[in-house]
């Protein structure tokens, strides 16, 4: 599907303009402390002309055999903030009681980020660091999320391929 740059896009947001809109697809999850799983996901990136995008994501666990939804899973929201030269800050919060500050770089259809700070409520699971990579591959949004949590070192946790939604 063709993507058109919005007229009021802030110039600093240009390296991530391809992410604007709604994306849907499926992914996989794995980590030493949990069973492997498959999930469906929707990401929404919106903007109003200022140098940031609003981000909202929701996911649900799917049955690997039927592809049917089993239960709701993660929710996260935040602001992807742009600085000159492709530098990016991302402030993100999760329904699980975790908040994060990410820093990274956007260029060439790729966004590479790492956590700078992680905060959590007393009921949230232990999580200490993350790394996210988003890429525009053949018009799809591919991403990978590595995490350090529950006493484990930074390692792959989630990966998915999402397509731009037609609404």
| Binding site, annotated residues | 33, 125, 157
Class of residue 11 by CB neighbours under 10 A (exposed 0-12, middle 13-18, buried 19+): exposed
Q: Report how far apart, in Å, the C-alpha atoms of 20 and of each of 9, 13, 44, 51, 155 are.
A: 10, 10, 7, 13, 28
Asked if 10 contacts 49 with a C-beta cutoff of 8 angstroms, the reply is: yes
Residue for token pair 């492709």? 86
Report how far residue 151's alpha carbon sits from residue 154's, in angstroms, rounded to the nearest whole number: 10
Please give the annotated binding residues for heme b, written as ranges.
33, 125, 157
């Amino acid at each position: 599907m063709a993507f058109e740059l919005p007229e009021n896009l802030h110039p600093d947001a240009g390296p991530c303009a391809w992410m604007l809109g709604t994306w849907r697809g499926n992914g996989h999850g794995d980590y030493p402390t949990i069973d492997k799983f498959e999930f469906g996901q929707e990401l929404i990136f919106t903007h109003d002309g200022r140098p940031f995008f609003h981000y909202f994501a929701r996911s649900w666990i799917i049955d690997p055999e039927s592809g049917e939804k089993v239960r709701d899973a993660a929710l996260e929201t935040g602001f992807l903030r742009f600085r000159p030269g492709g530098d990016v800050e991302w402030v993100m919060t999760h329904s699980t009681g975790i908040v994060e500050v990410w820093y990274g770089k956007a260029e060439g259809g790729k966004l590479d980020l790492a956590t700078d700070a992680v905060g959590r409520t007393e009921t949230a699971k232990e999580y200490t660091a993350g790394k996210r990579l988003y890429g525009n591959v053949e018009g799809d949004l591919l991403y990978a999320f590595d995490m350090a949590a529950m006493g484990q070192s930074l390692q792959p946790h989630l990966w998915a391929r999402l397509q731009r939604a037609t609404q």
